[in-house]
Structure formats: C-alpha cells, structure tokens
Amino acid sequence: LVTEAQTLERQREALCRHFARLHGLERTATLRDLHSWADSPASIARLQVISLELSARVQRLRHVNTRNAHVIAQAQRMNDQLLAAALRHARHPLYTPQGDTAPNQRPSIILDYKV
C-alpha cells in the first residue's frame, strides 16, 4: 500500500530530476567544464556586458549618495540655525544677543539641551 506521503515524495523527486535535466544539472560540473564555459566567447561577452551594467549602476549610486549627503548636511545646518535662533530667542546663556558663539559649528548644546 502506498501512502499519500510516499506519493508526494516520488512526485517531488521526479520534479527535481526533470528540473535538473532541463537545466543541465544532472551531473556535477568539473573544473574543466567551468574553464571551457569561462573561455567561451559568449560567456566573455556576457560578463563584459554585466560588468559595464554594474559599473554604471555604481556610478548612479555614488551620484545619489553624494546628493543625499548634501541634502542631509543642508538639513543639519538648517536645524542648527533654527535651534540657535530658538536658544537666542529664549536668551539661553550660551548665546549672546549678537548671535551664535560658534557660528559655523554644530552647537554642542544640542547634545545636552532639554526642551
């Protein structure tokens, strides 16, 4: 008597064998197979196309990262200016009425100032 589990297992094995046959995986590739694949003109051309695409993608990501870094730095500067203005307005002792004690620096007061 064949159980349902055994039937499913046989179907799974048959599907695995079919998949392996379709993709040429019935046997383990040898080093010679890999060398012949790597030396074939089609593989070399394909790898060159892939490397060019990756290079272009890296360039785009670098450009985006640079732009994001500028946006983040600008937001931090605006945040610092707003905080400095709020502290000056509140007559906080670290700030003089004329302005910031360290104009182009991130105010150290940010770290320990309790709102």
pTM score of the predicted model = 0.40
- Sorted by where each begins, the domain ranges of the chain are 1-29
| Lowest mean pLDDT across 6-20, 52-66, 92-106 | 92-106
Specify the residue for token string 């046959």. Answer: 21
Q: Give the helix ranges, DSSP H, for the chain.
A: 4-22, 31-39, 41-89, 109-112
pLDDT computed for residue 94 by the predictor:
60
Q: How far is CA 50 from CA 34, 56, 80, 86, 104, in A?
A: 18, 10, 44, 53, 45
